Structure 1
Amino acid sequence: MEQLIDNVHINFDSKSLWVLNMALALVMFGVALEISLEDFKQLLNRPKLVIAGVFSQFVLLPTITFLLVLMAQPLPSMALGMFMVAACPGGNISNFITHLAKGNSALSVTLTAIATLLAIVMTPLNLQFWGSMYEPTAYILREVAISPLEMVKLVALLLGVPLVLGMWVNHLRPQLAKRLAKGFKLGSLAFFVLLIFLALAKNVDIFVEYVIYVFWLVVMHNLVAFLTGFSLAKFLGFSKENVRSITIETGIQNSGLGLLLIFTFFDGLGGMALLTAFWGIWHLVSGLVLGSFWGHWAIEKEEVV
Structure 2
Amino acid sequence: MPAVNLEFSPSAMIALNAIIALMMFGVSLELRADDFRRILRTPKAPLIGMLVQFVLLPASTCLLTIALPIDPELALGMILVATCPSGTFSNIMTWLGRGNVAVSASVTAVSSLTAGIFTPLNFALYAGLNPQTRALLTEISIDPLQLLAMVVLVLVLPMLAGMFFGKARPQLARRLEKPLRTFSLIVMLAFVGGALSKNLEQFAEHFHLFFWLVVTLNSMALLLGYACARLWRLPDADVRAVTLETGIHNSALGMALIFTFFPQAGGMLLIAAFWGCWQLISGLLLALYWSRRAPREPAAVTLNQGIH
Q: Give the TM-score normalised by the residue count of structure 1.
A: 0.94
The separation in 1 between residues aligned to 2:7 and 2:83, in whole angstroms, is: 21
Distance, in Å, in 2 between the alignment partners of 1:74 and 1:193 is 28
How far off is 1:10 after superposition?
A: 3.9
The aligned counterpart of 1:70 is: 66
Is contact 1:227–1:247 with CA below 8 Å preserved after alignment? yes
Contact 1:23–1:189 (8 Å) recurs in 2: no
Task: Please say if 1:119 is aligned against 2:115.
Answer: yes
Q: What residue number does 1:210 align with?
A: 206
Is 2:169 the counterpart of 1:176? Answer: no
Q: Which amino acid aligns with 2:243?
A: T
- Structure 2, unaligned runs of 5 or more: 302-308
Partner of 1:4: 3
Aligned length: 301
Pairs within 5 Å for 1:11-22? 11-13=8-10, 15-22=11-18
Match of 2:152 in 1: 156
The DSSP-based 3-state class of the residue aligned with 1:3 is coil
Q: 1:96 to 1:192 in 2, by over 3 A?
A: closer
1:243 matched to 2:242? The reply is no
* Structure 1 portions without partners, runs of 5+: none
Residue type at the aligned position of 2:9: F
Find out whether 1:57 has 2:56 as its counterpart.
no
Larger deviation, residues 178-187 vs 98-107:
178-187
In structure 1, the residue matched to 2:221 is: 225
The change in CA–CA distance for 1:301 and 1:47 in structure 2 (over 3 A counts) is: closer
Which range moves more in the overlay, 165-174 or 178-187? 178-187
Instruction: State the Cα deviation string for residues 134-175 of structure 1 (Å, max 9, x = none).
Output: 122112211111001100001000001110011111111222
Output the aligned Cα RMSD. 1.7
1:135 maps to 131
CA distance in 2, matches of 1:54, 1:129: 18
Structure 2 counterpart of 1:42? 38
- Aligned partners of 2:232, 2:273: CA distance in 1, in Å? 33
For residue 234 of structure 1, the aligned residue among 230, 233, 238 is 230
Q: Answer with 172-181 or 53-62: which moved more.
A: 172-181
**Partner Cα distance (1:182, 1:235) in 2:** 35
CA change 1:188–1:302 in 2 (3 A) is: closer
Determine helix, strand or coil for the equivalent of 2:127: helix
**Deviation per residue, 1:45-78 (Å, 9 max, x gap):** 1122221111110001001111211222221111
Aligned match of 1:292? 288
Work out the percentage of aligned pairs sharing the same amino acid. Answer: 41
Counterpart of 2:277 in 1: which secondary structure?
Answer: helix
Letter matched to residue 190 of structure 2: L
- SS of the residue aligned with 2:86? coil
Q: Is the 8 A contact 1:12 1:263 kept in 2?
A: no
CA distance in 2, matches of 1:270, 1:46: 43
